[in-house]
């Protein structure tokens, strides 16, 4: 236990602002969930953003690779996007908002500030998605074009605040309408007709 806390203080004293776990394995790593669990443990212990990436042996290039995934296809480590986004990761505030200074609280982003999330259609089973799905007035935008192996959709969880869209471009419009306070149902042709009675 002492060694764990000693290592934590060494990292923080050296101004460590983020952490990347990297495994170089001689075989395909089939248990990617273990990497995610270890990343979460690092975040809990060190209170700094953490991400993970596998190091695989070179793979045959896929001629049908999407342009936005070219760096990943050539790198074999999946590190380019991990490091690019980890560099921009926010600093984590370990205390509740009421325990922070006015300056920290004003600059911080807290769970209560989030009222919309855009996710792949089949990846709604994570803790953040579950919490947002249970929040009244929040919006979960599920994108069909991004398939995952999780296979947990908003319908599986009974989310009443979910909107399913075909693409991320369409998701952008749904989030913009949500931020502007526009009811998305009022913008569709399937809106119920109004019945007039005399």
Q: How far apart are CA 40 and CA 36, in angstroms?
A: 6
Question: In what helix (H) or strand (E) does residue 7 lie, and over which residues does it extend?
Answer: helix 2-13
Residues 60, 121, single domain; the answer is no
Q: Is 105 part of a structural domain of the chain? A: no
Q: Predicted confidence band at 100 (pLDDT cuts at 50, 70, 90)? A: confident
List the one residue out of 44, 53, 42 whose CA is nearest residue 19. Answer: 42
Q: Is 93 part of a structural domain of the chain? A: no
Q: Is 191 part of a structural domain of the chain? A: no
Q: How far apart are CA 49 and CA 111, in angstroms?
A: 16
Residues 127, 172, single domain; the answer is yes
Q: Is 11 part of a structural domain of the chain? A: yes
The residue-averaged pLDDT of 44-58 equals 76
pLDDT, tens digit, for every residue of 161-172?
899 999 999 999
* Phi (first) and psi of residue 101, to 5 degrees: -70, 165
Number of domains in the chain: 2
Q: Sign of dihedral through CA atoms 81, 84, 88, 92?
A: positive
Residues 117, 153, single domain; the answer is yes
Instruction: Confirm if 133 and 124 have CB atoms less than 8 A apart.
Output: yes
The residue-averaged pLDDT of 42-59 equals 76
Residues 67, 120, single domain; the answer is no
Last residue of a domain, one of 34, 52, 86: 86
Q: Is 128 part of a structural domain of the chain? A: yes
User: What's the pLDDT at 169?
Assistant: 96
Q: Is 49 part of a structural domain of the chain? A: yes
Residues 131, 80, single domain; the answer is no
Residues 48, 119, single domain; the answer is no
pLDDT, tens digit, for every residue of 104-145?
777 777 777 888 999 999 999 888 888 888 888 889 999 999
- Owning domain of residue 82: 2-86
Question: In what helix (H) or strand (E) does residue 54 lie, and over which residues does it extend?
Answer: strand 50-55
What is the chain's mean pLDDT, rounded? 77
Look up residue 86 and give its two tokens. 């980890």
């Amino acid at each position: 236990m002492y060694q764990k806390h000693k290592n934590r203080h060494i990292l923080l004293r050296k101004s460590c602002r983020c952490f990347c776990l990297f495994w170089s394995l001689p075989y395909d790593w089939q248990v990617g969930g273990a990497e995610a669990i270890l990343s979460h443990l690092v975040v809990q212990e060190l209170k700094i953003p953490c991400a993970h990436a596998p190091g695989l042996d070179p793979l045959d290039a896929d001629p049908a690779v999407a342009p936005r995934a070219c760096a990943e296809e050539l790198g074999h480590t999946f590190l380019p996007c991990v490091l690019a986004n980890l560099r921009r990761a926010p600093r984590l505030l370990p205390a509740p908002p009421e325990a922070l200074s006015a300056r920290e609280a004003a600059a911080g982003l807290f769970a209560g500030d989030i009222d919309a999330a855009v996710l792949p259609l089949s990846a709604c089973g994570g803790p953040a998605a579950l919490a947002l799905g249970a929040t009244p007035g929040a919006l979960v935008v599920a994108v069909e074009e991004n398939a995952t192996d999780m296979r947990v959709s908003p319908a599986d969880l009974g989310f009443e605040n979910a909107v399913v869209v075909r693409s991320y471009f369409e998701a952008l419009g749904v989030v913009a309408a949500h931020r502007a306070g526009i009811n998305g149902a009022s913008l569709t042709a399937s809106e119920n007709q109004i019945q007039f009675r005399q």
